[in-house]
Structure 1
Amino acid sequence: MKIKIRQNHKSIQSGLKFELPMFTVLTGENGSGKTHLFEAISNTKNGEVHLDGSLLNTISYIPFGGLNPQVDQQCDPAQISQRVKQVWQEVVNAKQRAYRNQQGVAYSGPPENDPILGYIGNQQHRDEILDISKKLSTPPSQLTEDLVADRISIMAISGGSLFNSQFALIFKSYHVRYLDNKLNKIYAEDGISDAPPFLEDAEFKAKYGEAPWIFVNDVLEKLKLPYTVNNPMNTMRDTTFVFKLIHKNSSIEINTNDLSTGEKTLMSLALAIYNSTGTRDRAGFLVLDEPDAPLHPSMSKLMLEIIEEEIVRKHKIPVLLSTHSPTTIACTPANALYKISASDKAPIQCDLQDSMKILTYGIPNLRVSTEHRRQVFVEHTYDVDYYEALFDIVSRREKFTVTPQFLPPHTLNGSNCDAVLEITRKLRDMGNTHVYGLIDWDLKNSPEQQVIILGLGKRYAIENYVFEPHFLGLYLIHKKFVTPNVLGLVDCNSYLDVIKRIETDNSSLQIIVDHVQNNISWENEDTIMVKSELLDGSEIEVRKEVFEMKGHKLEDLIKESWPSLRSVRSNNGGDSALKKDVINTVINDFPGLLSKDISLTFSSIS
């Protein structure tokens, strides 16, 4: 994701350029300019954000303290129709004024140039009308009240922002649309002439999204909040809906005002996720200023997990947030940590230790416990990056009792493998029980005390996990080096389509595997297939050659098959660039598709 600042904004100078990953946690001292930077980015007239070459026009900025939901207890459906009519009346008035000034000439050009837009005084309503017009390819002056009522977003009805749209209003609006659509279907089936059009259930869900109460309850479950929300489905269309929170254990109704500050914040987050990822009000980029400020440390971890899982990974919406919390920093994936300084406003990547130094500067008696850390020596400096990233990814699904600190060996004798064995043995013999060695199998290595073999008896080296055929295929599609159709997914047009396909049909993985393997010129003509067990419980069948070939040789072979992969390189990354990028993109997107061997290896570090 590439970001550019066009104009000066407070302490942020024009011309500032930098790149960020899809999920970024930014820290820095007070006064370093985090809030100024967020304000500059979120102003689309100033901030220019490109994702995969496309300009993002919808940037939602939630300032400090913005996670504060307006939880109205009830909604009368008359409110909904009244607010829709308010928006429509502005259109009617604008039409009349524009018609007089245009001397009765009807407008037929592009929606954004329609003269009536200049006569709609409410900015939010004007933007909503223009959005509806663009989606329908119809000028605003040619819209009808029915079209507006059918297409208007909930946020436009509520007059709220992303995070304070009202629960009761959202739920009741969806309920009204659902019942109206069912009624239209009955009219059509009964043969009533001129019956309004209706949508089948799948079409309705595609247009209006999942029922908000189902989505919110699912998010509350993931946030480990002990509540469920009610819904209006067992009520009449025109009755007032009263929003309630129900405690799971006691079944007691909880007033939303009785929630703790942290619980209200997470409730707001659940609502924001629904608003920002929906089919109608989808955000292009989400920027949050210290959303974790009111949260207990345990809730900070849940907040990060739900943002990364639901917004970033599932819906492919980039998120940038700031924090001053050491807990949040400690729970952040390694590749997502960035810092900013007062002298250099461009965010730069940093590690956990660097972030902690910033947050604990001037507090000499504060230290981070290393009781649950283990030093793990690996064969190469590049391996440190691979294993750190893989551990962060697997940790989203699996719980580990210790946290490994991966280190390269610093001895001068022998190969990298020998160096790991030498330093591990020396430290072990000195009584250090918290140090481990982690080496590749190489078809010959054997485990010993505090020395772990990756893929023992199964795979040659770490490359044989990173370049597993399904990950290679997903990466080729992600980078647009091939189309999904080339790898057998004929009904998919994009990487996002492939993600949705895999989520609903896991057999798609084997299709990708087979097509990838058929495109590689193998040395051995004999095809021996072996099963690969994945973290999500699924299995795929892969050529044995993929697992037992030397890692570097396998990488060379796939580059020969897809020369475009040679373009993936970095200035100082050596031959690690491709492996790093595969890990940070498709493996990060699909942690459940990693081999179980990776998780078992990390579990061996105790």
Structure 2
Amino acid sequence: MIINIKDNGRILKNKDAITLPDLTVLTGENGSGKTQLLEYFRDYAGGHEDWDPSFTEVKITYPMTTDEGAPLTDIVFSFPGLRNYERDFYPENPLIDQIKNQWNVLMPIVRAYGIIAHKEFDDEKQELNDLNNAIIEFVKVLTVDSARFTPDNLKKADTHQLLQLKRLAHQASKSIEKLTFVDFLIFYSIPTDIFSSALDLLFHQFHLKQKYYIHLTGDVIPPWEVFNNILEEAKFNYRVEYTPSGNDEIPASIRFIDEGKGISNTTLDTLSSGEKTIMALIFVLYHASNNGKFPEVILFDEPDAHLHPSLTQLFISVIQEVLVNVQKVKVILTTHSPSTIALAPAATIYRMDRILGYPIKEEKDKAVQNLSNGLASITTEEGNLGITYTVKNTEKSILFTEGITDKIILQIAWRKLHNDAEIPFLIQDCFCASFLSNLFVNGKQKYEGIFEIEPDKIMIALFDFDNAGYNSWNKKGFSNLIEDDPRKCLTKSNGEKGYQMLLPVPNIEEIESQVIKNGNETFKEKSLLTIESLFFNVPDFKDLYFSQDKLPGGGFSYQFNGDKRKFAMALEELDQSHFKEFIPLFDKICFIISTNP
């Protein structure tokens, strides 16, 4: 999508033709203008009228367009916590009570209509006049002291009410005087805006139709089945359990069950704030599946405000896979949550720049660090979420790397060496060596450890052969040394399906001397080998990407000193011969996978 911003006299500044991904996750410090930007898109969805310098022609500029320039004007704005309106935090009467109050106004009109039901009318004006006279007669009969009765105190029926009753009579195939509250309830148009949660009434309506108007439900899938299908597709553990009410006028409460956790009697009101946020997103999908229409754009202002990190991955996945990928909705969401940033695709992350007054691209690691008050990584609890999601949702063995650029480099190396053949294992990046180490050390933790979650899945941690990497590789818990040749990847096992390995020492004299002391003996934690070092012999790379430092007693050490992401991207241009140092690594990984049942 493309956005065009006008100066709003506060933070926003003029900036046209900013290209954003169809899913944009917008971060930034407090007061940077994130909410102002979303409100600007909402308030000016219909476009700005701008006069040309000669004031002879008006040009309309739209704040949001497709990449082809088509205006995006059907925009929905959601307040923090997935509320549709700011007033949503204030209680109001349940919808069933509102419906009853509306029927209480219509009911006397229905009863009075019985007095004139036998008549034929030339037009609605005559019919309405006779109806109001009938109302007077109807009420007068019920008055104890008819001498003191005056029609001036009665409310008259209006044209809208008469037409409403005629429409209902047509839907119910009844005459007006025979209509009941149940008929009114069955055919009541329940609000189904994308954040409506009136499921109990929607389910009750369908139940009443099955009971009294079965011909209307013959080929229709019950809404509780539709809702459960959506819950399953979204991989949300709850399921709806619906038992129809024994009272036609009162809908039954909907119960949510989670068999995995042994939860069998939860209502919408008793769900946690985070679960309600996920459920609100499910309502979006449900209502859209009913009326078949999504908006062009949804603006989520801090939708994760009440979202526990354990639900963040599910939330992002539903938005990306269902709303963006399938339904082609453009989505911008703002966040202050490091877990949301950490689990969002890197390409989607932008930062609202307070000085510039518009959003700019932001690196994921930097955004996470800024939101984590400068810490090197997010908490283990938050970071584990994406890992847990990956572990549960792939059938492949998993190779974990220290960072995103390691993953990119390995993917490129595999393609170059194997002529674009599919990688037989999944590569999952982490945030640093320490994070990856903790992930594996705590892998047997009850309920949450990766080896507890998927005990039959092969999982391999790959570390650089440097201080942080070696110390992480050498921690307790992985005591079975299954490869002692550093040129073939020093590898340890936990005795089950977990493995930790160090990068293979390449046949490059300058780099080998920084790791190998003699034979297979290494400098251990004093070694210096990162994944970029495997390309040390590529022409010009030594001068472009590596710093050279003199060593005491003579000689030099070489250390990567470039932009990791730009370096990774430059590898696409290299031919296959420059990736031969990765062969021992891939051979070792494939051997581990092939020798495990």
Q: TM-score, normalised by structure 1?
A: 0.47
Q: TM-score, normalised by structure 2?
A: 0.47
Structure of larger gyration radius: 2
